[in-house]
Structure 1
């Protein structure tokens, strides 16, 4: 049996920018072993597997080495494919049941908006592995249920950071989000995200990281609508709007590959 397979660059409107995700559409439950093998074969930061249900889509995300609980860019890529291929009319809401509960996405002009859980960081003591792995003393260190969250003193420090990924992989966390205020008036903040423990040293653009970035910077800057730039080599833009226990994330996406996976 063959399964439709797509690769989408998410949080960008340019090919070969943003964060690439694979989207595989299945019409029956597949084993975790099979999905993990496909994700390893794709060798992208995440591969999304989607199966249509009666009232929503079942959605799961895998890195090349592990399943994860929350992924923004692969969810954006999946919604983009559903609308682009006509599987879902553009005026209808995409509803996904996931390990992080129900997530939704809607079209808003040239952008797509996702409704995700808010994951604000709480102040934490920096482990020695974090200090050594980043090679600096952070301005602020926090932690949410998934990641360490670090504010740096400047955008220049953030952009020139060269982490020790082996040291960071020792942390008991999914990953590390680093951020600072932006020197570019087009953006409110900049960020980078590292996930060596799940096989991704640096993620190009991380939607789920903005579930922490949005409430943090909204409070710091006293703004409710913000624009973030993830300053990886590929780069990407995420617009955010925190709303209580939820966060709205806006992004764009472009399809770069359409094919069939032989099952």
Structure 2
């Protein structure tokens, strides 16, 4: 069996930046263990599996080691492939059916816009483990649906941070997001998910469903510019609208091809 597969640099305006995601097009069901094996073989932070014969179109996301409930950059990558290569299916708006409910993607001036459910983080007591992980005490520690959020004073602290990944695996969450006000944007961040097989994620759309409501409240504004400060880096435009977060960014297609599953 051959499957069409694409790779897209998401939240990027040039190749070799942003966050790369593989997009596998499914025209018939595929076993979960096979999808996980493909994601492990790709060894990217996420591989999206898009079932185009289902209505609405189904999407699932796998890291090299686990399936996750929500992934922003791989959703943006999948929408880019559908808009470019399957326009009769995509139309003007794509509605993905996912483990996180219906996810809408539309074209916008910034590229593509994701319409995701908000993840409102809640202030939590600072476990001393996080000081050991980060080697510095954050101003605040919050907990979202999937991740912890550690807030710091300035961008340089975020740039210089070298978390202990071995200790980070011990927290009871998908991962840890660190964030602070930015020098040239509203806020900056970095995201670490060693338990999911991703030491540091280049650009994490799902984390911005938690970061956006936090910083919107701090700055008393509902539209924000963000920069994820990974080695590859990525910029996102975020908007808070009641219980939804709109995250927009550009993307670049790296390759199109096929994989053989014997």
* Alpha-carbon distance between aligned partners in 1 of 2:88 and 2:42, rounded to the nearest angstrom: 25
Structure 1 pair 10/60, CA: closer, same or farther in 2 (3 Å)?
Answer: same
> Structure 1 runs of 4+ off > 3 angstroms?
86-91
Task: Tell me the alpha carbon deviations over residues 90-116 of structure 1, each in whole angstroms, 9 at most, x when there is no partner.
Answer: 752111111101101000135111100
Query: Who is 1:109 aligned against?
Result: 109
- Tell me the number of residue pairs that the alignment of Structure 1 and Structure 2 aligns: 261
Cα deviation for residue 120 of structure 1 reads 1.4
Q: Is the 8 A contact 1:91 1:107 kept in 2?
A: no
State the SS of the aligned residue for 1:48. Answer: strand
Contact 1:148-1:177 at 8 Å conserved across structures: yes
Local SS of the residue matching 2:173: coil
Partner of 2:12: 12
Answer whether contact 1:90 1:107 (CA < 8 A) is retained. no
- For residues 200-250 of structure 1, what are the alpha-carbon distances to aligned partners after superposition, in whole Å with 9 as ceiling and x for unaligned? 010000000000111111110111111100000000011110111111110
**Mapped partners of 1:230, 1:157: distance in 2:** 13
Q: Which residue of 2 aligns with 1:245?
A: 243
Q: CA deviation at 1:55?
A: 3.0
Q: Is the contact between residue 36 and residue 64 of structure 1 (CA under 8 Å) also seen in structure 2?
A: yes
Equivalent residue of 1:75, what SS? Answer: helix
Which whole-Å deviations, capped at 9, do the CAs of 1:56-111 have from their partners, x for residues lacking one?
11100000000001100000000000011134477521111111011010001351
Gaps of 5+ in 1: none
RMSD: 1.2
Unaligned runs of 5+ in 2: none
The two structures have a TM-score, normalised by structure 1, of 0.96
